[in-house]
Amino acid sequence: MKDLPPFHNEALADFTKPANRSAMEQALAKVKAELGRTYQLHFAGKNVETPQKLQSYNPSHPAEVVGIHSKATAEMAREAVEDSFAFFSQWSRTPVERRVELAVQCADLIRRRKFEFEAWLVYESGKSWREADADVCEAIDFIEYYLRQMLRWNSPEALVQMPGEENQLVYLPLGVGIVIPPWNFPLAIMAGMAMAALVSGNTAIIKPSSDTPTIAAKFAEVLLEAGFPPRSFSLLVGSGAEIGDLLVMHPKTRFISFTGSRETGLRINELAAKPQKGQIWIRRVVAEMGGKDAIVIDDESDVDSAVKGVVASAFGFQGQKCSACSRVIVHEKVYDEFLEKLKPQVEALTIGPAEDPQFDMGPVINDGARKSILNYIEIGKQEGRLITGGATADGEGFYIQPTVIADVPSTARIFQEEIFGPVLAVSKARDFDHALQLANDTEFGLTGAVYTDNIYKIEKACEEFHVGNLYINRKCTGAMVGAHPFGGFNMSGTDSKAGGPDYLLQFLQAKSIAEKIK
Ligand code: NAP
C-alpha cells in the first residue's frame, strides 16, 4: 500500500466562483433528469427487487418523487443478518491494508462525483448548496479520517514486556453491525458510521432513513464501484418500525451504530440489551441522539458577533441539525440590545426552494415535521413573546418562517423539548452563573456556545457547561472531522465522538496475547 498523506479536511466549494456555480448547475440538471428512478435492495451479495415500494420526495416540491425503492421484508432482513454473519469470517480476515485501500477508493469516487452527490442532497433532503457541500465534504472527511485511524489501531502502542514473554494487544472487529442514520446528514453520518464499521473489518447492514433512501442507494453504488465485496455490506430500505426492531434484536447482530432521535435511540438501547436465544454476546450500542443546544451571551461580549453566530446556528438548514442552537440565554444587561439586533437579521433571511442558491433557507424535511414544528410554535406563543416568524412561509415546499420567541422560562416546553426546526427560544439570565445554570437545565448535552470576553468566565464555562461539544465565541454548529470530535452527554447519547481519534474503538475489541519465549 502506498504511504498516505496526513489527513486534511476536504475544502468547501466557493460558490461565488463561476466554475463551481456552473458545475453545481450542471449536476442539478443531470440529477433532475434522474429523479423518479427505481432502486433495488442490496443484501446477501445480490440486488433484489420487491413489489412493495417506498418513495422519497423533494421537500421543496413535495409532488416530485426523488426515488422509488424496493422495501425489505422481515424475511429479507433476517437473511441479510445471517449472510452478513456468514461473510464476517472472510471480511474480518481481509488484510487491513486492503480494507483501507478500498476506503481510499470510495472517498476518491465521492470526491469525483461531489457536485452530483450535492445535487441529490438538495433534492432529497432540502439542503441549500452550501449545506449540501458541507455534508459531502464531511462524508469524505469521515472516510479519510477513519481509514487512517484503522492503520493506527493496526499498529498499536507497544505494551510493557514481561521478562520471558512477548506481550501484544491486537484490535479485532466485532461482527455484524446495523447502521441506522438520520435524514438530516443523510450522506455524512451514514457514510461515516458505515465506513467506520467496514474499515474496522465488520460487516455492515445499512438501514437508511425512509426520507433519504436515494442518497443511501448512491453511496451503496460507490461502495461496490470502489471494490467492497458485495457481501460486506447490505442496503435495506424499509421503515424503522417494520424492520428496525428485527435487525436490532437478531441474535447474530453484534452492534448497532445509531444516530437519530432520543426516542428511537432509547428504544434501540432497550431492545438491544435483551439477549435472544442463541445470542452469545452483549450487543454494543452507539447511540447519538438529540439536542437542545444553548448559546450563552454574556454582558462582557461582542453582541454583534453573537447575533451572527446565533442566526447561523439556529437557522442554518432550517434548524434541523442536532447541533442547532434552539435556546439563547442572554445576560439581562444586553438582553434588549441582543433582541433588537437579532430581529432584523432573522427577518432578512429569505426562504425558497433549496435548488435556488439565492435563498438562505429551504424547506423542512416533510409534512409531519412541518406540522410538529408549527404545533411547537403555537405552544411557544403561549409560553413566551413572539418576536418574529410564527407561521408557514409562502410556496409549495414545506416552508416555515424563522421564528424567535423571547422571555421563555426554563420550565417551558419550547425550552426543554427538541423541536428540530427553525424555532429559537430566548431567555434572560440575571448573571453569568445563572446563564450557565439555565444552559444546563436540560436532559440533553450535545453542543453549546458561550460569547464572553472574560477569561475567568471562559474557564468557568469550560468546567461547568455540561455538553459534549463546547464552543467559545463562535457558533455551535459546523463541527469539523478531526478538529471537533462530535458526540453528546446525557440524553444526547453515548458521546461516541464521531470524527475523533477514539471513535473506531467502538467498532473493535482488543485481544491481549502473551507468549512465553522458549
Ligand atoms: P429518528 O426518527 O429517530 O430516525 C433515525 C433513524 O432510525 C431512521 O433511519 C429511522 O428509520 C430509524 N428508526 C426508526 N425507528 C426505528 C426502530 N424501531 N428501529 C430501528 N431503527 C429505527 O430520527 P430522525 O428524524 O431521522 O433524525 C433527527 C434526530 O436525529 C434529531 O433528534 C437529531 O437531534 C438527531 N441527530 C443527532 C445527531 C448526533 O450526532 N447526536 C446527528 C444528527 C441527528 P425511518 O426513517 O424508516 O423511521
Residues near 49 by Cβ (< 8 Å), separated by ≥ 6? Answer: 38, 40, 41, 70
Do residue 284 and residue 300 come from a single domain? no
**pLDDT recorded at residue 363:** 98
Residue range of the domain that includes 502:
19-289+496-513
Q: How far is the CA of 494 from the centre of ligand 1 (A)?
A: 15
Q: What is the mean pLDDT of residues 332-336?
A: 98
pLDDT band for 391, please (50, 70, 90 cuts): very high
Q: Which of 333, 328, 337 is nearest to 438 (CA)?
A: 328
Q: How far is the CA of 434 from the centre of ligand 1 (A)?
A: 33
CB 286 within 8 A of CB 272: no
Q: What is the mean pLDDT of residues 176-193?
A: 98
Q: Which atom of ligand 1 is nearest to the CA of 180?
A: 9
pLDDT band for 299, please (50, 70, 90 cuts): very high
C-alpha cell at 22: 456552473
Residue 165 within a domain: yes
Q: How far is the CA of 261 from the centre of ligand 1 (A)?
A: 5
Q: How far is the CA of 365 from the centre of ligand 1 (A)?
A: 13
Q: Which residue matches cell numbers 469550560?
A: 462
Q: How far is the CA of 181 from the centre of ligand 1 (A)?
A: 6
Q: What is the mean pLDDT of residues 199-206?
A: 98
**pLDDT recorded at residue 2:** 78
CATH number for position 416: 3.40.309.10
DSSP letters for 40-72: -EEETTEEE--SSEEEEEETTEEEEEEEEEE--
Residue 318 within a domain: yes
- Is 322 known to be catalytic? yes
What residue's CA is closest to ligand 1, atom 9? 209
Q: Which atom of ligand 1 is nearest to the CA of 265?
A: 3
Do residue 90 and residue 177 come from a single domain? yes
pLDDT band for 1, please (50, 70, 90 cuts): confident
Backbone phi, psi, residue 192, to 5°: -65, -50
The identity of residue 447, as a single letter, is: T
Instruction: Report whether pLDDT(147) > 90.
Output: yes
Q: Is 372 touching ligand 1 by the criterion CB < 6 Å?
A: no
As for how many domains the chain has, the answer is: 2
Q: Is 503 touching ligand 1 by the criterion CB < 6 Å?
A: no
Q: How far is the CA of 86 from the centre of ligand 1 (A)?
A: 28
Best mutation site among 215, 261, 372 for ligand 1 pocket (most ligand atoms within 8 Å of CB): 261
Q: Is 240 touching ligand 1 by the criterion CB < 6 Å?
A: yes
* Percent of the chain scoring above 70 in pLDDT: 100
pLDDT tens digits, residue range 447-478?
999 999 999 999 999 999 999 999 999 999 99
Do residue 137 and residue 265 come from a single domain? yes
pLDDT tens digits, residue range 82-115?
999 999 999 999 999 999 999 999 999 999 999 9
Do residue 431 and residue 463 come from a single domain? yes
What residue's CA is closest to ligand 1, atom 32? 261
Q: Which atom of ligand 1 is nearest to the CA of 207?
A: 9
Do residue 208 and residue 81 come from a single domain? yes
> Given 322, 383, 418, 476, which residue is catalytic?
322
pLDDT tens digits, residue range 229-267?
999 999 999 999 899 999 999 999 999 999 999 999 999
Best mutation site among 131, 138, 184, 443 for ligand 1 pocket (most ligand atoms within 8 Å of CB): 184
**pLDDT recorded at residue 237:** 98
Best mutation site among 125, 207, 211, 264 for ligand 1 pocket (most ligand atoms within 8 Å of CB): 264
Do residue 195 and residue 224 come from a single domain? yes
Do residue 285 and residue 299 come from a single domain? no
Do residue 352 and residue 213 come from a single domain? no
**pLDDT recorded at residue 403:** 98
Do residue 303 and residue 184 come from a single domain? no
Q: What is the mean pLDDT of residues 359-372?
A: 98
Residues near 188 by Cβ (< 8 Å), separated by ≥ 6? Answer: 135, 136, 138, 139, 142
Q: How far is the CA of 308 from the centre of ligand 1 (A)?
A: 29
> Given 124, 288, 355, 418, which residue is catalytic?
288
CATH number for position 219: 3.40.605.10
pTM of the prediction?
0.98
DSSP letters for 6-38: PP-PPPPP-TTSHHHHHHHHHHHHHHHTTTTEE
Mean pLDDT of the chain: 98
Q: Is 260 touching ligand 1 by the criterion CB < 6 Å?
A: yes
Instruction: Report whether pLDDT(120) > 90.
Output: yes
- Is 106 known to be catalytic? no
Instruction: Report whether pLDDT(137) > 90.
Output: yes
Q: CB burial class (10 A; 0-12, 13-18, 19+) of residue 203?
A: buried
Alpha helix (H) residue ranges in 367-431: 367-383, 413-416
